[in-house]
Chain A
């Protein structure tokens, strides 16, 4: 009998099968992720979780007997009252449930858990992001590796030759290891003595000395395992700052569920981007009609308000919050506004002045997202007029303004807003 300890064997043997399975069920899984992300908070978007997919795509058909019809015999245990000849009503929903009757029929849904990476990956895929952008989000912030001295163990690739030789030299000196020159000198001495015909005693002594030193040169190795040193590395987190993200949204009656969903996706994505870049990201939700107020996420997305639309109130609220809680020198401030484009015309000048004078100077980036219906009714040519707010914002657009604006009707339109953000930051870094 042998006992083998397999616990240290690498686990995750099923990983490749699991990936194959998810790839197989990709479309279904993606739908499930879309459903799941709808019900989640923005901050939970990059954690895994359980999802349920219809079993259709991953069903494994076999040649098997149908669960109903025909004449069947069941042998069942636990008889208490029946005698031969009794009639029993057929149970609802398929009979008998004996060995032959019920063979894995009820498999309408398949439920399993996705890991964090898998969930995020599919969420991003659903937004139809280009690969580069995906990588930028999905790759975790790599810690920086820095040299940090030496150590006595490590992988051969990390051997530090100078340090090893230095140790070896010190050891050889301390132990007085004879070098080739020393041996040669002794040999020369011996030869000279022999040549000069010195006394037996002297020659013998010299020979003994030579032998002794030759032996020592072998027993004291040139490089001993003790000398070997490896470069040591330490991971150091990159210096990371903190960021706050303002979500501004028009919640007046004209914003429907589809528009809110688009907005939510936009905020989620922005959050993900920011989270990769900063260690701490806070989110502030401000909703507005003709009045603005700071609310929690649930209220932000799911409760309705009635009223007119005055955008400047939201901007004022944001400025108030920044002044009271997020000093500009300690926080990176991002703001994302989504709206269907309505604004009281009389409010436009005030909105613009708030933006240009106060907000844009203090934020890293300001994104305006104009959300529209999924299938816009094809307007008559010439009637496709930009919205009130759009026209106003266009006035302050410029190459130096840290602001971008987009019209979005579909999920896939969301990404281009970010491209701008990337380009800007990429240029900064360059």
Chain B
């Protein structure tokens, strides 16, 4: 009896209802575990309570609290709303924004247990990941994103006022179509821009004139000749930074007919695409990290007697919902669930550090039994992305648990073939294949701008390197190329090249229909 009374006094809450002081208290308890025990290091949190309608609003603009206006967001809103109203789709419990302070939306309808779960998941899990993962560090600026979005919104609104909504909408349509190819995939050396190039050329010439000495001509030696003989074509390509895979970037910098405001709009679309690029690269890890964190924090709260059994059961109910992985033959199957895979792998890493089997010692000699799960995980969270994470840490144990198998589907064959399963022979193949599946540069078509003739016809030439014979979606391709030609202002040529044989399979030529940048 007395033990029960003591327990009661430690409980953070009972029942379902919450209020603001309670949220504050719960947050304190979460922080104790997350910072004290797990030694996480998140950005400061800002928790915002919103209604379901506001959640729908936030959905429509890719979760961001403010975004420029475009019909496509209205379309997403209309679809989500219809699905939600009919009960086909629940709302996410939370949205978290990678900004500093990190904004976590929680919905007013949620029970107090759900609020606790959400704060642990987003406010500590995602938040820590955003702050420390290297792709986020490299590509996103958490301090500046909200200001930038505010700027983008007002800039585009101004453009609409000045140049008309229809024209801005058409430009955004075109830019959105190329958004998937508007990101830098690797950090680049600063793009050689034409003006600095010219300056450098002039300085080099002046330097040469200063040092001119006719005697040098008599010195034998042909080494220098080679550099000067670079063909015009190569030189031009080097000047323009070709080949270039970031199409929007190239258009912004080089398209001959675009007006300054149009370049700025392309830049906005491209910057926002770049901001979201890390999230696409780290889905499994990000969700794995957040799910692991909330699971650990909730379990610790229960162990400490700060939430009661009922609340813990409620938590487990939604937790297991989230990490369900239906089999491939299940009607609910919709790809590999990043929550399930991520959570399983994080837990597995913890197990390997604490209680490794012989197999683990063989596969993961560097971490097996190091008895420091949190530091190991934090190191993983900081230094990998999905592709490298899977190829490094997907253990045979997990492959067996998920029953993973690899199916090879060759168009030329009558049947698909199971080429690896979760057994001794298949582990490495499986791991390589699943890691490739999460490699964005393999998932998006491999397209480069390879040449442009700025003096003559001004034709823009692109190359699509086809891997494994998988071509692009025909209907979409035509539409996107048309928009690209309108942006470029002149003819666009796309060569489809087989990556292995270098044979040209197909070419598409598109003339601009209604080029941008020509004042009517």
Contact = CB atoms under 8 A, between A and B. Distances in A.
Interface string A10-39: 011110111111111000000000000000
Interface stretch (A75-83, A252-260, A291-299): A75-83
Interface stretch (A64-72, A327-335, A369-377): A64-72
A89 interface: yes
A50 B78 CA distance: 10
A139 interface: no
A83 B421 contact: yes
Interface stretch (A93-101, A189-197, A409-417): A93-101
A20 B407 contact: no
A14 B336 contact: no
Given A64-B473, A97-B333, A90 B415 contact: yes
Contacts of B74: 14, 16-22
A132 to B, nearest CB: 25
A7 B408 contact: no
Interface string B62-94: 000000011111110111011001000000000
B253 interface: no
Contacts of B51: 7, 11
Contacts of A67: 473
Contact of A74 (B53, B57, B409): B409
Contacts of B71: 17, 20-21, 23-24, 58
B85 A113 contact: yes
Contact of A63 (B57, B421, B476): B476
Contact of A2 (B46, B328, B419, B447): B46
A14 B50 contact: no
Chain B facing A: main interface SS: mixed
Given A17-B71, A62-B177, A71-B470, A5 B49 contact: yes
B20 to A, nearest CB: 6
Interface in A292-314: none
Interface in B399-430: 402-411, 415-423, 425-426, 430
A332 B477 CA distance: 61
A9 interface: yes
B485 to A, nearest CB: 14
B44 interface: yes
B207 to A, nearest CB: 44
A73 interface: yes
Contacts of B56: 14
Contacts of A95: 409, 416
A17 B50 contact: no
Contacts of B78: 18, 21, 110, 112-113
Given A87-B415, A88-B415, A18 B77 contact: yes
Nearest to A95: B409
A97 B180 CA distance: 21
Contacts of B123: 1
A131 interface: no
B470 A66 contact: yes
B474 to A, nearest CB: 7
Contacts of B38: none
B75 A21 contact: yes
Interface in B462-503: 466, 468-477, 479-480, 483
A85 interface: yes
Contact of B57 (A14, A62, A100): A14
A3 interface: yes
Interface residues of B, number: 100
A112 B437 CA distance: 33
Contacts of A99: 335-336, 437-438, 443
A179 to B, nearest CB: 51
Nearest to B31: A1
Contacts of A20: 69-71, 74, 165, 169
Contacts of A22: 74
A74 to B, nearest CB: 5
B433 A75 contact: yes
Interface string B493-518: 00000000000000000000000000
A59 B406 CA distance: 33
Contacts, number: 275
Contacts of B334: 97
Given A22-B74, A66-B470, A84 B61 contact: no
Nearest to A16: B69
A95 B407 CA distance: 11
Contacts of B423: 83-84
Contacts of B468: 70-72
Nearest to A10: B54
Contacts of A113: 78, 81-82, 85
B330 interface: yes
Contacts of A4: 46-49
Contact of A7 (B50, B415, B445, B472): B50
B425 A84 contact: yes
B470 A74 contact: no
A108 interface: no
Contact of B447 (A60, A63, A83): A63
A66 B476 CA distance: 9
Contacts of B81: 112-113
B181 interface: yes
Contact of B61 (A6, A14, A100, A110): A14
Contacts of A239: none
A62 B480 contact: yes
Nearest to B470: A70
Nearest to A73: B433
Given A4-B46, A4-B49, A87-B416, A74 B471 contact: no
B180 A64 contact: yes
Contacts of A1: 24, 27, 31, 44-47, 123
A357 interface: no
B479 A6 contact: no
A384 interface: no
Most buried by A among B325, B411, B420: B411
B108 interface: yes
Interface of B: 20, 23-24, 27, 31, 44-51, 53-54, 56-57, 60-61, 69-75, 77-79, 81-82, 85, 101, 105, 108, 123, 165, 169, 173, 176-181, 325-330, 333-336, 402-411, 415-423, 425-426, 430, 433-434, 436-438, 443-445, 447, 466, 468-477, 479-480, 483
Which 10 A-B pairs rank lowest in CB-CB distance, beginning with the nearest?
A78-B327, A21-B74, A70-B469, A17-B74, A70-B470, A112-B78, A87-B415, A20-B71, A76-B328, A79-B403
10 contacts: A4-B47, A60-B177, A64-B476, A73-B408, A78-B326, A84-B419, A86-B417, A87-B417, A99-B335, A102-B335
